[in-house]
Structure 1
Amino acid sequence: MAISTKLMMRQGQALVMTPQLLQAIKLLQFSNLELSAFLHEELERNPLLEAVDANDFSDAQQESHGGDAVAASEAGSAESHGEPAEGDWARDSLAVDATQLAAELGTEIGNAFELDNARSPADSMGALEGAGLSASSWNGAGGAPADGEAPNLEAYVASQASLHDYLGEQLALACADPIDRIIGQAIIDAIDEVGYLREDVAEIAARLDADPARVAAVLAIIQRFDPSGVGARDLSECLALQLRERDRLDPAMQIFIANLPLLAKRDFAQLARLCGVDDEDIADMAAEVRRLDPKPGRAFGGAPLQPLVADVIVRPAADGSWIVELNSDALPRVLVNHSYAAQVSAGAKRDGDKTFISSCLQNANWLTKSLEQRSRTILKVASEIVRLQDAFLARGVEHLRPLNLRTIADAIGMHESTVSRVTSNKYMMTPRGIFELKYFFSASIATTSGGEAHSAEAVRYKIKQMIDKESPFDVLSDDAIVARLKQIDIDIARRTVAKYRDSLRIPSSVDRRRAKQSQLRETVQPAL
């Protein structure tokens, strides 16, 4: 058989992940905060993109300057029993001509600081008011600034002092030796936001090439700082520091603090034997320990908390159904300024400039289309979830149905991975509260009669209800909970009950019995 070179044609299919497709997939799984940060970077990178505020966006819809506007907030609303409404995504951008604005103001637009210094303040204010600007809008005291933006109030708010700054100020007063200050600052840097030292003294000494005894001495000084208990290496040391400051760290209390696991188990009899005191003294010692602060640094706060903003809003309709709509405040508003692109492209002389403008325009159009598709996909998935979980919205968590990604994917004609990306870091506001979309997906628990399965979340809620209603004299074990669940047609294993109980941070039946009986004694003793 001769070997030869041939030219052949073959037809095949291959999946090619283009950069635009990767960007669309990435946008789909972003939360609203991550999406805002990503769009901020794109606005700095692409001159043809414009961010529009909520008030400006309504004005931009009424103007017609030859541009296209794409806003995710126009995705519209849809009911859970109908198809999502198709939003109008084509809008005109808002372009302002400087000469037209100058004609309207009756003056030339120039540098506001190039006013004649010889004018009096009254003449200057009069000239500004003649140009259509009031004194209040100019100085920002009684209105918005001249550029139309509201004053930045955050610039006038004092920053909150952190725990490290507070400890550093005390270190400067407590240590006069520069070497001790360097060691103390290294120790303060190793203290976390709740006030605990998370690095060993030997490691700090080795890193600074210092004597471990000197590092320990500086640590002892820091442990006397305010707040009391700061710089401790574990909970026992934190409580001991606070008790020493109150002059309550006697030998019995030291033994009590060293056996905190027994306190957590409510084993007061064993604690009384170890400390050599009676039950009344043990009760007083336990009450005193409860008044201490196990996290002394939390008073200074940690990282700023971001408010939870729902991506989807669900509200009841007049006919008993549910209206599902996107939260316009959580969606970005981005415009593609085609008029500016045409002006710049017409003035570009070099091929590189034209290529850059063309690339920016293509990327901007693709970004707006990706945002549109993201909004529609979120609305589709949320509407299907609401349709399937109608009983939960109407009657509570006990009626939550078991649900998986495949059910939603088959209903809306998408892949499971797409549904998984949509439900990640997305939240739904309902009349029963704000829930992550992942919350509505739970495993199914079979029934004893072979009927419709129960949701794992609903079973977990039933277990919590049973434990909350138990009495101190009849604490339910895991086997007893299994028996009661089978009486209401829920077939579940004991280890599954134990797993759900641990996920709810509910202690075992032995620990609950000790806690409830201890609370009962504390309630009865004052009455006697």
Structure 2
Amino acid sequence: MTPQLQQAIRLLQLSTLDLQQEIQEALESNPMLERQEEGEDFDNSDPLADGAESAPATPNNEESYQDTSYQESSAPTVDNLEEGEWNERIPNELPVDTAWEDIYQTSASSLPSNDDDEWDFTTRTSAGESLQSHMLWQLNLAPMSDKDRLIAVTLIDCINDQGYLEETLEEVLDAFDPELDIELDEVEAVLHRIQQFEPAGIGARDLRECLLLQLRQLPAKTRWLSEAQRLAGDYLDLLGNRDYSQLMRRMKLKEDELRQVIELIQSLNPRPGSQIEASEPEYVVPDVIVRKHNDRWLVELNQEAMPRLRVNPQYAGFVRRADSSADNTFMRNQLQEARWFIKSLQSRNETLMKVASQIVEHQRGFLDYGDEAMKPLVLHDIAEAVGMHESTISRVTTQKFMHTPRGIYELKYFFSSHVSTSEGGECSSTAIRAIIKKLVAAENAKKPLSDSKIAGLLEAQGIQVARRTVAKYRESLGIAPSSERKRLM
């Protein structure tokens, strides 16, 4: 592959946020590139032509939208120099199977991004607070002897991300040096102090202890508190098995009273450690915007996420001298790199627009009526429609997002396998999942639908799905089996 093709493929795989960072690095490293500021005149020209042939100007407002079709003017463009400015023609191609850095050592990817003047260590290396660091912060505020503090640090290291103590107290005790003369009672006493830390329920050894710890921190006037403590302490297995008749009999409660006790239990967090997130939030910027206008679905690239670039004509003018000096060679290389970078961006936007338009054309039913109207779609269908390879479609649909009136979706969301119908047609797996979710939402809570029953209801609608397939779709939706969905009204 030529370096140009390698760069185009790499840019095609980048998400919008990664692409913006790549563009910013290119702008900082290449003086030939500049960003088109809002309100400035812009000459849309062919970025690879040595002449001054001008392309049509970019349309504004409503004309910038296309009815599920590709819009070439949405891509970044570059101002070109007048014909005759070049005494030496810059090559349009580089040798095959060479790396970009072999020819141009000044590309953004080869330059360090941590400039001493602008490097922000906190911004680039900070992460969310971990559960252990949150607990150690509380430990530093607690008055404690040196021995107890050592025990507390060891116990905190044994707490997993869900907030549970993974090791037994005996195993924790064995980890200490015998010369410290630490006893099991001391380890247990320190654990009880840690269990008073936030979040409530931290440091529990099992679910029963976790729920009881959280119930003990509730106000004493909380309704049904004593009954909830009794249920969590003695009858948690019956609750897990949804054996409500046994619970009502053993706890001597009526159905409505038991329901309120269970609601109090369900308000607790069985995984208290999950409240402390160590990972940074991930933001999604849509690449494509879809909206309906005059009963037509219109598709356009997100211009705010696609900055318009061009070659700086002032710097480009410095290359007019036909000399072989180091400075002139450097500027010539920078100019060629800028032109190829812009061409790669154009190629990315062209491909993205073509693919998004074909997806919208194929999934109009989803945009109008929702998941139940989703049609079967595979990569081969789009690849055939746009005349590209399936691997290219896979790259352009990964980490690329479409903003629709129904929400923001990754382009891969619109692809799904199909199931045959009794009428000889096809139904997408996404539509079947939506139907299953709708059936479960409308089921009788006391008698939830089994997988076999759901398969029968789907068959009544002409969708031929096996029970095992229903179970697979149900699990992918995060819906529990019927035995676990049973609950009191």
Q: TM-score, normalised by structure 2?
A: 0.72
Query: Deviation of residue 236 (structure 1)?
Result: 3.0
For residue 211 of structure 2, what is the aligned residue in structure 1? 239
Q: Which amino acid aligns with 2:302?
A: N
| Residue in structure 2 matched with residue 490 of structure 1 by the alignment | 463
| C-alpha deviation, 1:207, in angstroms | 8.0
Contact 1:193 1:302 in 2 (8 A): no
Check if 1:324 corresponds to 2:299.
yes
- Structure 2 match to 1:441: 415
Match of 1:458 among 414, 423, 431: 431
Is the aligned partner of 1:90 residue 2:77?
A: yes
Q: What's the offset of the Cα at 1:379?
A: 0.4
Distance 1:200 1:470, change over 3 A: same
SS in 2 for 1:59: coil
Matching residue within 304, 313, 334 for 1:360: 334
Distance in 1, matches of 2:264 and 2:74, equals 63
CA offsets, 1:199-240, max 9 Å, x none? 777887788868695666544322212332223354333212
Residue 311 of structure 1: which of 282, 287, 291 is its match? 287
Distance (whole Å) between structure 2 residues aligned to residue 343 and residue 201 of structure 1 = 75
**Residue matched to 2:67:** 79
* Counterparts of residues 489-508 of structure 1 (less than 5 Å): 489-508=462-481
Percentage identity across aligned positions?
42
One-letter amino acid of the counterpart of residue 195, structure 2 = Q
List gaps (5 residues or longer) in structure 2: 50-57, 81-121
Asked if 1:402 is matched to 2:370, the reply is no
Equivalent position SS for 1:58? coil
Aligned residues: 423
2 CA distance for matches of 1:239 and 1:310?
41
Q: 1:379 aligns with which of 353, 356, 371?
A: 353
Q: Compute the displacement of 1:473 (Å).
A: 6.4
Greater Cα shift, 455-464 or 283-292: 283-292
Instruction: Find the partner of 2:444 among 443, 458, 471.
Output: 471
Unpaired runs of at least 5, structure 1: 1-16, 69-73, 94-153, 520-528
Query: How far is 1:445 from its partner?
Result: 1.0
Measured against aligned partners, the alpha-carbon deviations of 1:96-125 in whole angstroms (never above 9, x if no partner) come to: xxxxxxxxxxxxxxxxxxxxxxxxxxxxxx
The partner residue of 2:243 within 229, 254, 267 is: 267
1:161 Cα offset (Å) = 8.0
**What corresponds to 1:61 in structure 2?**
42
1:23 aligns to 2:7 (yes or no): yes
Q: Secondary structure at the match of 2:298?
A: strand
Change (3 A) 1:208 1:472: closer
Distance 1:203 1:50 in 2: 63
> TM-score if structure 1 supplies the norm length?
0.67
Counterpart residue identity of residue 500, structure 1: Y
Quote the Cα distance in structure 2 between the aligned partners of 1:207 and 1:37: 47
Larger Rg: 1
- Deviation, 1:381, is 0.3
Residues 33-432 of structure 1: pairs in structure 2 closer than 5 A = 33-51=17-35, 56-59=37-40, 61=42, 77-80=65-68, 82-87=69-74, 89-92=76-79, 167-178=135-146, 180-181=148-149, 184-185=152-153, 187-188=155-156, 195-196=163-164, 213=184, 217-245=189-217, 253=229, 256-257=232-233, 260=236, 262-271=238-247, 277-280=251-254, 285-296=261-272, 303-318=279-294, 320-340=295-315, 342-343=317-318, 351=326, 353-432=327-406
How far 1:325 sits from its partner (Å)? Answer: 0.3
Deviation at 1:418, TM superposition (A): 0.6
Residues 244-265 of structure 1, C-alpha deviations (whole Å, 9 max, x = no match): 4458998994773476454233
Amino acid paired to 2:393: V
* Aligned residue in 2 for 1:509: 482
Name the structure where helix makes up a greater proportion of residues.
1
Cα-to-partner distance string for 1:129-171 (whole Å, 9 max, x where unaligned) = xxxxxxxxxxxxxxxxxxxxxxxxx99xxx9987666534431
Equivalent position SS for 1:500:
helix
Checking the alignment, whether the CA contact within 8 Å between 2:75 and 2:346 is kept in structure 1 is: no
AA of the residue aligned to 1:58: G
Give secondary structure in 1 for the equivalent of 2:409. Answer: strand
Q: 1 or 2 for the larger relative contact order (CA 8 Å, sep ≥6)?
A: 2
Whether the aligned pair in 2 keeps the contact of 1:427 and 1:435 (CA below 8 Å) is: yes
Q: Any conservation in 2 of the 1:313–1:326 contact (CA below 8 Å)?
A: yes
8 Å CA contact 1:460–1:500 kept in 2: the answer is yes
Q: Which amino acid aligns with 1:511?
A: E
Shift of 1:79: 1.4
247-256 or 413-422: bigger deviation: 247-256
CA contact (8 A) 2:74 2:301 kept: no
Looking at structure 2, the residues matched to 475 and 251 of structure 1 have their Cα atoms a distance apart, in angstroms, of 27
Task: Name 1:114's counterpart in structure 2.
Answer: none
**Which letter does structure 2 place at the counterpart of 1:420?**
S
